[in-house]
């Protein structure tokens, strides 16, 4: 597949602004497919079926869903009760990523202040594009701040290769540009730091293998795919210098919900004195939840995602059964890493420890 320049995972169709285009991430890395979103049902399907995924991108997609809802309701006149119902449907598409609720409510609150249908449509688009820009600028800042951490390790190692472990995909495919966990890596590359990334395959949908490896290949960043259970071994043998992951929801006290398996990486990092950082924009903090383990709703997905593996066979993407057909499956999409295992958060406002006081010092308006 050819390198894709200046690519975003979501954009407005250049010929028809009533259509939103997305990269169908289910098809990567083997096929590059662009899909059309024309209405709320399309948006909900794209989020549920993980055509789009990653907390910031899910939020942006939800915001564009509000915009599309306004366009489709315009013919009969946009009634506030109808748009509120549509927003509720969008927010119910996936339960864990807090950016979805944040972004949809942000657009909804703005359009409810407008009187006419045309004004509501314009405001929906304006507010959505502000969210897009916020996520891009946040990722840039996360990249610069996280780069300082990588630079210190590089200096300590006399400019030898810095080995970073990441889990799942928290790159531009999960945001808009740069990514969260990958932003410091991309910035380090631009500043000529010698880096190498160990990429967890990230079962069951293999977002690390399919998406992070594809992104890193596009950027020509040295990387190696590993099994999900290899990280601890690499840490024991001092091969990993640091871990950077993203998050789908983080409490104001520092508990982190991220792709299933993140907790095990954090445990291994703690046991081997390896720094474990979580990169996130402020839109991924949940300012209403204190106890992540008890209060964050963890999505359970189709067991067949565990029982089958997708891959390229004879130039066709196919699903292959890997266990006895009658064996039941259990498929939790996320787990919660307690704040005690997190070295720190890399946010657009700065780096802080994983505790309520440090987080609210960065975001005093939330105190």
Q: What is the pLDDT of residue 311?
A: 95
Q: What is the pLDDT of residue 2?
A: 46
Q: What is the pLDDT of residue 367?
A: 84
Domain with CATH 1.20.120.420 in the chain: 10-134
For 133-159, write each residue's pLDDT tens digit: 999 999 999 999 999 999 999 999 999
Just list the catalytic residues.
Answer: 248
For 84-111, write each residue's pLDDT tens digit: 999 999 999 999 989 999 999 999 999 9
For the domain made up of 10-134, give the CATH fold: 1.20.120
Q: What is the pLDDT of residue 157?
A: 98
Q: What is the pLDDT of residue 77?
A: 83
Query: What are the DSSP calls for 174-208, one per residue?
Result: GSSSS-SSSHHHHHHHHTT--EEEEEE--TTTTHI
Regions of the chain where pLDDT drops below 50: 1-2
Cβ count near 123 (within 10 Å): 19
Of 272, 163, 317, give the one whose Cα is nearest residue 226.
Answer: 163
Residue with tokens 């939790």: 332
Domain with CATH 3.40.50.10470 in the chain: 144-366
May I ask the CATH architecture of the domain 144-366? 3-Layer(aba) Sandwich (3.40)
Would you say 8 and 176 are in contact if contact means Cβ atoms under 8 Å apart? yes
């Amino acid at each position: 597949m050819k390198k894709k320049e200046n690519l975003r995972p979501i954009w407005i169709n250049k010929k028809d602004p009533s259509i939103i285009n997305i990269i169908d991430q289910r098809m990567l890395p083997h096929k590059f497919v662009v899909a059309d979103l024309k209405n709320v049902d399309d948006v909900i399907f794209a989020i549920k079926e993980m055509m789009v995924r990653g907390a910031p991108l899910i939020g942006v997609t939800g915001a564009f869903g509000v915009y599309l809802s306004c366009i489709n309701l315009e013919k009969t006149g946009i009634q506030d009760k109808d748009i509120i119902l549509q927003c509720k449907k969008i927010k119910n598409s996936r339960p864990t990523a807090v950016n979805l609720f944040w972004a949809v409510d942000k657009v909804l609150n703005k359009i409810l202040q407008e009187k006419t249908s045309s004004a509501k449509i314009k405001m929906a688009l304006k507010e959505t594009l502000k969210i897009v820009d916020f996520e891009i600028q946040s990722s840039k800042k996360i990249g610069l701040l996280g780069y300082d951490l990588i630079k210190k390790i590089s200096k300590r190692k006399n400019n030898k290769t810095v080995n970073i472990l990441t889990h799942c995909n928290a790159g531009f495919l999960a945001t808009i540009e740069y990514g969260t966990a990958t932003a410091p890596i991309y910035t380090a590359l631009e500043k000529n730091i010698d880096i190498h990334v160990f990429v967890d395959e990230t079962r069951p949908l293999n977002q690390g293998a399919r998406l992070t490896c594809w992104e890193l290949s596009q950027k020509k960043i040295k990387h190696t795919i590993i099994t999900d259970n290899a990280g601890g071994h690499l840490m024991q043998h001092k091969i990993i210098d640091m871990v950077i992951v993203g998050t789908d929801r983080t409490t104001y006290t520092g508990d982190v919900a991220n792709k299933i398996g993140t907790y095990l990486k954090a445990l291994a990092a703690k046991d081997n004195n390896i720094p474990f950082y979580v990169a996130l924009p402020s839109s991924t903090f949940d300012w209403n939840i204190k106890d992540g383990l008890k209060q964050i709703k963890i999505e359970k997905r189709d067991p067949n995602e565990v029982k089958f593996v997708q891959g390229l066979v004879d130039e066709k993407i196919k699903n292959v059964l890997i266990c006895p057909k009658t064996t039941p499956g259990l498929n939790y999409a996320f787990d919660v890493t307690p704040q005690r295992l997190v070295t720190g958060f890399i946010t657009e406002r700065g780096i802080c420890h994983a505790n309520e006081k440090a987080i609210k010092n960065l975001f005093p308006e939330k105190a």
